[in-house]
Every structure is written in structure tokens, then in C-alpha cells.
Amino acid sequence: MPGPFIECVSMSFVSLSALISPRARSSFVPVLVGSILFCLQGCSSNKQENHEWVLQSHAPESSLDFQELQKMAEQVRLMSGGRLLIRPVPGGALASGPDIYTAVSERRVEMGNGWPNWWSGRHPSWSVMNSGPFDFMNLDASMMFFLAGEGTELANELAAPDGVIWRAAWWSGMEFGLLSKDPIAGLDDLKNKKVRIGPGLPGEVFAAASGAYTIPLVPEEMRPALEQGLIDAVEWTTARGVLELDLHDVSPHAIVPAIWQPAVVSDFLINEAAYEELGEDLKAILESAMKAYALTTTMSSKLADFEAMEELQSAKVSFRRWSEEDIERWRVANEAILDGYRARDAYTEKLISKKQAFKDRYNRYYEYFGPYD
């Protein structure tokens, strides 16, 4: 308990005693002392209230975004004076892939970090929460939608029935593309191939456009599957993500960009009951730390992508781009699948409409204020 508080209580006690007659003082003093002790005990117990959380990440321990989670946890520890301790664990430690959402909902862990389309098994709308083909084409549009627009509110409408609180985590922006052992010149070369791609809308559009078989492997399964010939090609986040998993030396041919996810966002999941156990100050600390993580991880990971791209080029990875004809095939497949999503339920229709309306406003603005060089 702070010294000034004790001093103030002592002075008040002396002042009150002086105002009370000697006869009344004998009965009043024990009551006053008891009240002060009760107050001090209550304040002391509140101060000592500690919380220890586990944060299950999707990412391997060597990844930049996992290392940033460790920094975030340390900042929360410092700002909370050790009252909120968050222990990040790498992908697969306690839960993996889509099970991260379930683990948070069931409070096997207090927090999770993954990708919205991974939760599509809980509700199909998670598939379109993330940036699908021809959705937000720039990460700043997605950042505005979720951090300042309606995105987070819409996501929490979907998460709340499962006892989960949703927050945007970080943006990888345009994903890298497709890596393969043998060269792929376009969509026709993918027919009947086995390709690792995330679940939900990205994989559905990929399969419809290419005729490939899509397999949603988690990070720790990707390289072994390539080495054993279980898959023919793989997509995984950005250039930095490719290097972190050493995918390029077993699949040295790339076709870019990632039409299926142009402005992908990662997310935080928080168990609602665990969150409500926090005091208001700890909630504020956690919210501030997550926003700081979103900014620093987005910027540092994108800068790391510049460096990783240069390293991949130096490593003699061959690069091709999708043709205009292929991009149009992607567009047709995407519209057909989105029509199916729109017809599923009112919430999914609302989510798609809200995102499209925001994209239209963004594009109208940048007709006047876009790049001019």
C-alpha cells in the first residue's frame, strides 16, 4: 500500500480521535480500527489479483509474428506490473489449425491467434471475413475496415455465440503465391494436382478455377508433405513465411501473386469469460497491446517481405505471373462461389455487402488520390 495513503489514514484517525470524548472514544476506536484494517485488506487483495493466460498461436516458433507475440506478452507483463501474464505457445503445442478456435471457446486456452477462414467449420461466414479473391486489394483498406470501420463489430457478431471475443491481429497483405516442385505456367497446369491451401473461400475458389485438389495442411505439415510427394504445390502467407519454413528449396518454382488472398488479416481470439475476469485497467492494457502488435507486426513483416523476396530471387527461385486469361477465370469462379455464400443466410449476405461497399468507397477516393508516378 502506498506510503501517502497510510499517512493520510493515520492523520484522519488522529483528527477523529481528538473530536471524540474520552468516554465515547473507548467504544469508537476499535470500530474505526477494524474498518480501516478491512479496507486495507480489501485493497491489498485486489492489488494481488493475478491472471495467467496461454495464447495458442498458429505460427512456428521461428516466425516473425510469433516472436512479436512474445514481445507483446512482455509489454503486457510490464504495463500490468505482472498482474497479467500471457504465455504464447507455437502452432501445434496445445491446439492446431481450426482447433485453435475451439480451444479458445472451451477455455482450454485463454487466447488464440490464427486466420478467420480457418474457422469456417464453425460458421461458413468466417470464409468471407478474410480477404478473398478480388476483395480488399490493399492491406490499408482492410486495416481501415477492421480497425476504424464496421469489421470488428461484424466479426464479433459471429464470434459472440461461441463465447469468443474477436480482434484483428496483423496483416500480411498480398500473399506470396504458389510454390511447386515443377514449373506451373497457369491454371491449366494445376488440373488434378494436389495443392496445400487454406480452408474456406480461398481453397474453394482455387479448386473451382483450376480443377486442383486442395488440402488445408497446417505449417508444420507442409515441408514434409512436399518432400514425400504428398502434395505438388503449396501456398503459405508471404515471402518471409516461405523462407521461415524453408519451402523454396524443395519447391523452387513460383507463380504469383496469390489471387486467393490479396489483403489477408490474421486474428486474435479471446475467451469471453477470461476477458471479463480482468479489471478495467487490465482490459485497457490488453487492448492497447493488441493494437500495438497489429501495427508493428504488419509493418515489420512487410519490410521483412522485401528482404525475403530479394533472398528468394538470389536463391534462383523462378517466377511467373498469372495471365490475364487466368485472372478472368479466377474472377468468374469467385463470383459463382460468392453467390452461393450470399444465399446461405442473412448475416453472410450482410458481411459481403458491407465489405464490398467499403471497397467501393475506398476505390472512389483513390481515383483522385492514388499514385501518380
CA distance linking residue 5 with residue 283, whole number of Å:
26
CB 50 within 8 A of CB 82: yes
For 16-56, how does the pLDDT look when each residue is reduced to its tens digit (9 = 90+)? 444 455 555 555 445 444 555 444 454 444 455 899 999 99
Phi, psi of 164 (to 5 degrees): -120, 140
Phi, psi of 315 (to 5 degrees): -80, 10
Q: Is the pLDDT of residue 65 over 80?
A: yes
Average pLDDT across the chain, whole number: 89
For 144-199, how does the pLDDT look when each residue is reduced to its tens digit (9 = 90+)? 999 999 999 999 999 999 999 999 999 998 899 999 999 999 999 999 999 999 88
For the record, the C-alpha cell of 130 comes out as 478474410
Please choose, from the candidates 218, 195, 203, 56, the residue with its C-alpha nearest in 3D space to the C-alpha of residue 117.
Answer: 203
* Mean of pLDDT values over 208-214: 97
Q: Over pLDDT 70: what percentage of the chain?
A: 87
CA distance linking residue 233 with residue 197, whole number of Å:
9
Min mean pLDDT across 10-14, 102-106, 153-157, 369-373 is at 10-14
Total residue length of the chain: 373
Q: Can you give the pLDDT at residue 271?
A: 99
CB 179 within 8 A of CB 235: yes
Q: Is the pLDDT of residue 143 over 50?
A: yes
> What are the structural domains, with CATH classification, of the chain?
51-171+264-304 (3.40.190.170), 178-262+318-343 (3.40.190.10)
CB 95 within 8 A of CB 111: no
3-class secondary-structure state, position 318: strand
Q: Can you give the pLDDT at residue 154?
A: 98
Higher pLDDT, 12 or 365: 365
Q: Can you give the pLDDT at residue 48?
A: 57
* Mean of pLDDT values over 258-286: 96
Please choose, from the candidates 193, 145, 128, 72, the residue with its C-alpha nearest in 3D space to the C-alpha of residue 345.
Answer: 128
For 323-347, how does the pLDDT look when each residue is reduced to its tens digit (9 = 90+)? 999 999 999 999 999 999 999 999 9
CA distance linking residue 116 with residue 125, whole number of Å:
9
Helix (H) or strand (E) holding 122: none
Q: Can you give the pLDDT at residue 6?
A: 46
CA 191 to chain CA centroid, Å, is: 32
Higher pLDDT, 202 or 365: 365
For the record, the C-alpha cell of 132 comes out as 478473398
Q: Can you give the pLDDT at residue 9?
A: 43
CA distance linking residue 114 with residue 224, whole number of Å:
21
Q: Can you give the pLDDT at residue 198?
A: 87
Q: Is the pLDDT of residue 277 over 90?
A: yes
For 296-319, how does the pLDDT look when each residue is reduced to its tens digit (9 = 90+)? 999 999 999 999 999 999 999 999
Please choose, from the candidates 118, 104, 126, 119, the residue with its C-alpha nearest in 3D space to the C-alpha of residue 55.
Answer: 104
Please choose, from the candidates 204, 185, 124, the residue with its C-alpha nearest in 3D space to the C-alpha of residue 321.
Answer: 185
